[in-house]
Amino acid sequence: LTEVVWAIGKLRWGPALKPMSELQDKVWLIHDNSKEMAELREAASWTYKAIALQDAAMLQTY
């Protein structure tokens, strides 16, 4: 899942903004301090920010 989240972030695929927001909220509610969960949290956070910034930049150009 982490690799998929990173790939979506690298593509900055706009339609994924809402699902990424939901995923980001959910991964922080899970009480798991494993390395894998930390990596997923980082990927979800970075991906959400990347897509949100891309959308904001697109809105400013119009």
10-residue block means of pLDDT along the chain (62 residues)? 95 92 95 97 96 75 52
Residue 12: phi, psi to the nearest 5?
55, 50
Please tell me the distance from the alpha carbon of residue 62 to that of residue 58, in angstroms, as a whole number: 7
pLDDT of residue 54: 83
Q: For the chain, what are the domain ranges? A: 2-6+15-61
Which pTM does this prediction carry? 0.83
Q: How many CB atoms lie within 10 A of CB 13?
A: 16
pLDDT of residue 5: 96
Please tell me the distance from the alpha carbon of residue 49 to that of residue 24, in angstroms, as a whole number: 11
Q: Which helix (H) or strand (E) holds 62?
A: none
